[in-house]
Amino acid sequence: MQTPTTRRTAFRRAAASLAVATGLMAPPALAQDLDLQKLTPEQREAFRAEVREYLLDNPEVIMEAVNALETKQAEQQAAADDQLVSSNADMLFDDGYSWVGGNPDGDVTIVEFSDYRCGYCRKAFPEVEELVKSDGNIRIIIKEFPILGQDSMTSSRFALATMLVAGPDAYKQMHDALISLKQEPSEPVLSKLATTLGLDADAILAKMSDPEVDRRIGETHELAQRLQISGTPTFVFGDQMLRGYVPIDGMRQIVKQVREES
């Protein structure tokens, strides 16, 4: 999305280029934002008239400058994200407690930071499932990252408690049920859900307050902070970070790119 600051910055750079082209400013000034205060009144008036005429004749130049700036910023963000992934690889890919599925020997690992109450996480869920299933060579890791209130925290605690009580397979069943749960995750609702899955509801409910549950959620939040993740879903595809929802075709393209670059 183009912000006012982005548009102003792009305009200043385009205007600086125009000032050089029209002889109103020397090239070294391109290294800084355009400063009209350094122009004489006559130069300033001529510059304004020239800018107006140029933009009326070439209105597309502003969008070109904005797009170029946004592309540059996106490239800088991607490079910074690559470094963040590299420096936190151990906790991302082998923390010792997050659920791991798909092909354990897959050539691409996807890590998902997810919140059960996040609408886009719910939208992405069946597509991620289809991606992993249809590809056959993807390792998938789920990070419990409750950030959208108490219901999110309750759901994550119940999922992690399920893993501690009944193991990773039961956790995946519970995760899949919670990500599509339409009701609020009250104790009666969670108890019924566990019973429906053939699990010991009382044992899971009691385990929700275990310090190990606190540790796992806390460490994932600390990892997300180091990675500068503030929203869900956030994915890591190999060494690339993807902030936000992307449809399955886009995810397939990213997986292909990761394989080509590995």
Q: Are 118 and 148 in contact (CB under 8 A)?
A: yes
Residue-level pLDDT at 22? 46
SS3 per-residue string spanning 206-240? HHCCCHHHHHHHHHHHHHHHHCCCCCCCEEEECCE
Which pLDDT value is given to residue 13? 55
pLDDT for res 40? 78
What is the structure's pLDDT at 26? 45
Answer for the pair 227, 82: CB distance below 8 angstroms, yes or no: no
pLDDT at 247: 95
The pLDDT, as a whole number, for residue 258 is: 94
Two structure tokens written together for 150: 């108490």
Angle, CA 101 vertex, CA 97 and CA 104 arms, to 5°: 95
Q: What is the pLDDT of residue 114?
A: 97
* pTM reported for the whole predicted model: 0.73
Q: Measuring CA to CA, which residue among 65, 54, 67, 64 is closest to residue 24?
A: 54
pLDDT of residue 73: 67
pLDDT at 107: 96
Number of other CB atoms surrounding residue 181 within 10 Å: 17
pLDDT means over runs of 10, the chain (262 residues): 50 52 45 59 79 78 74 70 89 96 96 97 97 97 98 98 98 98 96 97 98 98 95 94 93 95 85
Instruction: Report phi then psi at 100, rounded to 5.
Output: -125, 130
Give the CATH fold of the 88-261 domain.
Answer: Glutaredoxin (3.40.30)
Amino acid at 251: M
pLDDT value for 171: 98
The distance in angstroms from the start CA to the end CA of the chain is: 31
Domain ranges of the chain: 44-86, 88-261
Task: For residue 262, give every residue at least 6 positions away whose Cβ sits within 8 Å of its Cβ, in sequence order, or none.
Answer: 107, 108, 238
Q: How far apart are CA 156 and CA 42, in angstroms?
A: 66
